[in-house]
Amino acid sequence: MKVLVIGSGGREHALVWKIAQSDLCEKIFVAPGNAGTAKEPKTKNVDIKAEDLDGLLEFAKTERIDLSIVGPEAPLVMGIVDLFEKNNLLCLGPNKLAAQMEGSKIFMKDVLKKGNIPTANHKVFSEAATAKEFLKNCEIPVVLKADGLAGGKGVIVAFSREEAFEALNSLMVKQKLGSAGDNLVVEEFLRGEEASFIVLCDGKNVIPLASSQDHKQRDDGDKGPNTGGMGAYSPTPLITNELNDEIMNKIIEPTLAELKNRGIKYKGFLYAGLMIEKNEIKVLEYNCRFGDPETQPILMRMKSDFLKLCLKASKTELENEIIEWDDRYALGVVMASKGYPEKYDIGFPISGISEESESIKVFHCGTKKIAGEILTDGGRVLCVTGLGENLENAFQSAYESTSKISWEGAFYRKDIGKRNQ
């Protein structure tokens, strides 16, 4: 099979790395990829941006691609699956309507409300003045969310009224995130622990992937601004076998049923961000793709043929499929550039990327290779992922390798996987 993977981050590097292990795989193209994807076996980067739908379509036609797998949310929300399917090309991911689960917080909250799925109470605002009046008297802390896509930066938790007003001004008045802030969702603040629950859907059947836990805040102790994710590990003790079944029965399946009621068959990866407190589960958010950085530790643990699963999902053939997992833990540490998630510089040489082994893998998130040298090319630069017999062993493995890597302004959290200890 010839496969096209769309995207350039750590998630896409992990997808490519896992797909290359399949006997079904003949050749992988990555658009646009990064310095890490370029060195994987069977793989070639192609200089086409993930949002260039016409360019991607033309490439897939010319190369006779058997299956395209979409990593990031933007092309999904733009309708890449609809475009490819219209041209009789297999493309794994939700169509434009289904991708609104991430493309519009308002749409997503409406699905949850109509499907009677537990989530935070919320209000929707289209005018800053009205939102400000509400914030004057609402309970604090409060959560403000830009309605549209914001690259993981559209959620602000305000712990004071002053912070709430600042967030409102940033999102709706100054439009720091552009049109994503045209409409605003204001939610009650939920207490508890977050977990990531990702499933693979084929439009009819659904299979849960291994559980994981992301660390969204930039700094140790869950301090600082929200990011796209500073590290993750799998599995998480938060989700027991019993809780896994409850999530499937009370959250995932009712969500897919509500979408079906709207004439939407969901195909691809569906990511539920959950808040868990004393076994009470509420949905924080839905994403319409595999998580980043959850993909890295999850795929490190997957023993099944990932490409075969993706192909079956794209053909509505997941029924009776079972995914086999490594019993070990996997933990990934994101190394980021100074200034992330705000303004940061790129182009710094990276040193110390050690030799990889069966139990350690350095996934590239934002890198490029120029004249034989690997340089930083993003806010999140690497995700160093280790396997271990238990969570502590995985922690030690990942951080031992992380400590050897450096570039000017590099930083990372020191407490990934330590939330429950």
pLDDT per residue as tens digits for the range 285-331:
999 999 999 999 999 999 999 999 999 999 999 999 999 999 999 99
Q: Please give the pLDDT value at position 421.
A: 56
Residues of the chain with CATH 3.30.470.20: 193-314
How many CA within 13 A on the CB side of residue 413?
30
Please check the confidence at residue 269 and state whether its pLDDT lies above 60. Answer: yes
By residue count, the chain amounts to 421
Residues of the chain with CATH 3.30.1490: 127-182
Mean pLDDT of 153-175: 93
Measured over the CA atoms of residue 194, residue 197, residue 203 and residue 204, the dihedral's sign is: negative
Question: 235: how many CB neighbours lie within 10 A of its CB?
Answer: 22
β-pairing verdict for 155-158 and 184-188: unpaired
Q: Please give the pLDDT value at position 48.
A: 98
pLDDT per residue as tens digits for the range 340-352:
999 999 999 999 9
What's the burial of 357, exposed, middle or buried (CB within 10 Å: 0-12/13-18/19+)? exposed
Tokens of 148: 């549209």
CATH 3.90.600.10 assigned to 329-411: yes
**Multiple choice CATH, 193-314, 3.20.20.10, 1.10.3720.10, 3.30.300.30, 3.30.470.20:** 3.30.470.20
Report whether 367 contacts 374 (CB < 8 A): yes
Average pLDDT in the chain: 96
| Burial track 205-228 (b if 16+ CB lie within 10 A, e otherwise) | bbbbbbbbbbbbbbeeeeeeebbb
- Rounded to an integer, what distance in angstroms lies between the CA atom of residue 66 and that of residue 252? 29
Residues of the chain with CATH 3.40.50.20: 2-96
Residues of the chain with CATH 3.90.600.10: 329-411
pLDDT per residue as tens digits for the range 19-55:
999 999 999 999 999 999 999 999 999 999 999 999 9
Q: Which of 233, 244, 243, 242 is nearest to 207 (CA)?
A: 244
Q: Please give the pLDDT value at position 107.
A: 97
- DSSP symbol at 148: S
- Rounded to an integer, what distance in angstroms lies between the CA atom of residue 258 and that of residue 272? 15
> What is the DSSP secondary-structure string of 315-366?
TT--TT----B-SSEEEEEEEEETTTTS-----PBPB--PPPBTTEEEEESS
CATH 3.30.2010.30 assigned to 2-96: no
Q: 127-182 — its CATH code?
A: 3.30.1490
